[in-house]
């Protein structure tokens, strides 16, 4: 790393020759590959933009000029070149570097960005704010499948300000790109069509791995007085052969799971269900691989709909499928489903349509940090009419609810984490809407109530308490909405402890408090541990759970403090 070691800040890059810039790019790829494979993170997407990032730092004057990433998982080389080389080994570790741009981390990071299609909207606002410097958006071509990009494109034409937006065209989102925009960019790559109908100049088919050519085009853009588009063609995974051959697999890397995951169980069960029911349609938003639907796509390609990075459309389109008599299962990460809230409320819930929302990455997500935590889905889904919410305790219960859901005639949300299935339970009560089940029954006056993966820590805590002479009951409150009022009534006069891996709004704890307060019940004591409503930085899932008191030792300590 003879060249990279000389780079402390972007001004040092401007002193390099073209030959040294190519060597710098090689150094960057080596560092990114080494630490991303070790720590987990977004590998292929970052390797593809190394040369472009070098050229951007050579031409522009950051942080006076503003670079806005869309999406943020392209930022690793930029972080290294803006003074964070010595910290890069802490990538995605507790108290280490975030895997996305983060304003609190560096003045070079313009805006925190973990979701797609937002950059041009941010740029429109900054341009209207008369900032002193160039505004550059680095937009992955997958982000152009999101509607917000086109809303901003419509607005950028009304600006009397200059914005430079660079399309990083690697023919990929996380999975392969889909839809009209992908086909349009194929035409652009082949024939050099322009955004001429929008009166925006476009420089086409720039080789994203030719630093000399990139510098020339970027200097032209810098000196231009008008908004313009640079269409840069890159190879996802560039410089790492395995990632070049399988960019989808190496988009995000991490440790291999030794146990089955909820995602795997979901994908396998969906394929089995579709084998038996031709009306089942799976919908995803550029996340076929990430949601576990690759096998489904191979077995039932005509019944897997990937709409691109367009969660709102995915949800409203699923409402149309339900109206047509189909059974849609919409698989979207918790953090991304937030972007479709109005569609859930207006198009699915108010119409009481039988759409199944399969919410992956619910709860703490760990290494991806603030923008990806799935802590809010219960709060926002609990505020919609006609929605049922379910959290399976293990893989068998996830499979059971997916099977049960295909005959359920109303909206249903199933939330499950990005994790291995830590415990296989022996108790599996047939699913009935709004009904809970007892995992441990001892007629105790102390009842621990939880659901999902958190239930395993609660069961461990119950065993510790029993060894200390304290008997407790444990309830799997698998239906968050509607809750089991009959079972809750049977617990009157007891101490009830709720442990839930989501914020308190619309939680079972909040619902129980409301119920007993309305009934003026002063004999039932209700305690709750939910996730405090704050931002959670990069750390492992285990570290985050311990931080908020969800490890078994903390749970035991909390319960004993209330006895």
* pLDDT per position as a tens digit, 10-27: 999 999 999 999 999 999
pLDDT, residue 92, reads 93
Q: What angle do CA 550, 552, 555 make, to 5 degrees?
A: 65
Residue of 468, 465, 467, 451 whose CA lies nearest to 559: 465
CB 70 within 8 A of CB 137: yes
pLDDT of residue 343: 98
Altogether, the residues listed in the chain come to a count of 563
> Which fold would CATH assign to domain 437-561?
Rossmann fold (3.40.50)
Q: What is the structure's pLDDT at 195?
A: 64
CA dihedral 256, 258, 262, 267 (to 10 degrees): 70
- Is the pLDDT at 300 greater than 60? The verdict is yes
Q: Tell me the pLDDT band of 247, cut-offs 50, 70 and 90.
A: confident
Q: Where in the chain are the domains?
A: 4-245, 262-415, 437-561
Strands (E), 122-243: 135-140, 164-169, 201-207, 228-233
Q: Measuring CA to CA, which residue among 239, 234, 210 is closest to residue 30? A: 239
Residue 362's contacts (CB-CB under 8 Å, 6 or more residues apart) are: 334, 374, 377, 391, 415, 416, 417, 452, 501, 502
Cα 240 to chain centroid, rounded = 25
User: Which of these, 163, 154, 156, lies nearest to 226 by C-alpha position?
Assistant: 163
Kindly tell me if the per-residue pLDDT of 191 is higher than 70.
Answer: no
pLDDT of residue 250: 78
pTM of the predicted structure, to 2 decimals: 0.92
pLDDT at 243 over 90: no
Phi, psi of 280 (to 5 degrees): -75, 125
- pLDDT for the residue 144: 87
Percent of the chain scored above 90 by pLDDT? 82
Indicate the helix (H) or strand (E) that contains 306. Answer: strand 304-306
**Residue 258: predicted pLDDT:** 77
65 vs 491: CA distance, rounded Å: 62
Q: Which residues contact 301 (CB under 8 A, 6 or more apart)?
A: none
**Confidence check: pLDDT of 61 > 70:** yes
pLDDT of res. 242: 84
Residues 105-109: contacts with CB under 8 Å, at least 24 apart: 106/79, 106/82, 107/63, 108/10, 108/62, 108/63, 108/67, 108/78, 108/82, 108/83, 109/75
Contacts of 102 (CB under 8 A, 6+ apart): 109, 112, 369, 370
Q: Which of 93, 88, 90, 62 is nearest to 76 (CA)?
A: 88
Q: Is the pLDDT of residue 80 over 60?
A: yes
Which DSSP state fits 406? Answer: T
| Alpha helices for 224-370 (secondary structure H) | 241-245, 262-276, 294-299, 311-323, 334-337, 341-343
CATH 3.40.50.2000 applies to domain 4-245? no
| Average confidence score pLDDT of the chain | 93
Separation between Cα atoms, residue 339 and residue 263, nearest integer Å: 21
- Interatomic CA distance for residues 47 and 227, integer angstroms: 27
Return the axis-axis angle of helices 18-39 and 50-59, rounded to nearest 10°. Answer: 130
The mean pLDDT of 512-530, rounded to a whole number, is 96
Residue 356 has pLDDT above 90, yes or no: yes
**CA dist., res. 181 & res. 426, Å (int):** 49
- Flag the least confident range among 65-74, 253-262, 267-276, 456-465: 253-262
Distances (CA, A) of 457 to 6, 24, 265, 266, 339: 49, 47, 21, 22, 31
pLDDT tens digits for range 469-491: 999 999 999 999 999 999 999 99
**Which are the catalytic amino acids?**
236, 311, 339
CATH class of 262-415: alpha beta
pLDDT above 70 for 176: no
Contacts of 513 (CB under 8 A, 6+ apart): 526, 528
Mean pLDDT of 139-144: 84
Name the phi and psi angles at 514, rounded to 5.
-60, -45
């Amino acid at each position: 790393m003879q060249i990279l070691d000389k780079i402390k800040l972007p001004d040092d890059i401007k002193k390099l020759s073209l030959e040294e810039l190519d060597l710098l790019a090689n150094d960057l790829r080596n560092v990114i590959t080494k630490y991303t494979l070790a720590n987990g993170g977004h590998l292929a997407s970052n390797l593809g933009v190394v040369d472009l990032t070098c050229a951007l730092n050579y031409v522009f004057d950051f942080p006076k000029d503003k670079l806005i990433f869309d999406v943020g998982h392209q930022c690793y080389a930029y972080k290294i070149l803006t003074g964070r080389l010595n910290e890069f080994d802490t990538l995605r570790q507790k108290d280490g570097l975030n895997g996305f741009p983060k304003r609190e981390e560096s003045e070079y990071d313009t805006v925190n960005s973990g979701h797609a299609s937002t950059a041009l909207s941010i740029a429109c606002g900054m341009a209207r704010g008369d900032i002193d410097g160039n505004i550059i958006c680095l937009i992955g071509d997958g982000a152009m499948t999101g509607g917000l990009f086109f809303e901003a494109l419509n607005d950028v034409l009304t600006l009397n300000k200059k914005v430079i937006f660079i399309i990083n065209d690697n023919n990929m989102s996380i999975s392969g790109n889909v839809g009209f925009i992908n086909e349009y960019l194929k035409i652009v790559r082949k024939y050099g069509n322009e955004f001429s109908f929008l009166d925006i100049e476009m420089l086409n088919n720039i080789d994203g791995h030719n630093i000399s050519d990139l510098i020339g085009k970027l200097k032209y853009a810098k000196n231009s007085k008008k908004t313009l588009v640079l269409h840069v063609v890159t190879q996802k995974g560039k410089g790492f052969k395995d990632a070049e051959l399988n960019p989808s697999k190496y988009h995000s890397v991490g440790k291999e799971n030794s146990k089955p995951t909820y995602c795997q169980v979901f994908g396998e069960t969906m394929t089995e269900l579709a084998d038996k029911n031709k009306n089942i349609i799976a919908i995803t938003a550029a996340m076929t691989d990430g949601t576990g639907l690759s096998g489904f796509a191979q077995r039932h390609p005509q019944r897997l709909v990937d709409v691109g990075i367009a969660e709102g459309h995915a949800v409203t389109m699923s409402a149309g499928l339900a109206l047509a008599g189909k059974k849609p299962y919409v698989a979207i990460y918790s953090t991304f489903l937030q972007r479709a809230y109005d569609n859930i409320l207006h198009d699915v819930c108010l119409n009481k349509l039988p759409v199944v929302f399969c919410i992956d990455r619910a709860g703490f997500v760990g290494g991806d940090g603030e923008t990806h935590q799935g802590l809010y889905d219960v709060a926002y889904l609990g505020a919609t009419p006609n929605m049922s919410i379910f959290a399976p305790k293990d893989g068998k219960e996830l499979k059971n609810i997916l099977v049960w859901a295909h005959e359920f005639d109303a909206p249903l949300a199933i939330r499950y984490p990005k994790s291995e299935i830590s415990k296989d339970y022996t108790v599996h009560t047939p699913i009935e809407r709004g009904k809970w089940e007892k995992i441990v029954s001892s007629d105790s006056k102390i009842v621990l109530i939880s659901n999902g993966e958190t239930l395993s820590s609660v069961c461990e805590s119950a065993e510790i308490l029993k060894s200390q002479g304290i008997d407790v009951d444990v309830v799997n409150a698998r239906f968050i909405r509607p809750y089991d009022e009959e079972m809750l009534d049977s617990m009157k006069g007891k101490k009830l402890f709720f442990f839930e891996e989501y914020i308190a709004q619309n939680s079972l704890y909040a619902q129980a408090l409301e119920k007993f307060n309305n009934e003026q019940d002063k004999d039932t004591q209700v305690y709750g541990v939910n996730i405090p409503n704050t931002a959670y930085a990069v750390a492992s899932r285990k570290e985050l759970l311990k931080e908020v008191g969800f490890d078994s030792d903390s749970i035991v300590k909390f319960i004993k403090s209330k006895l």
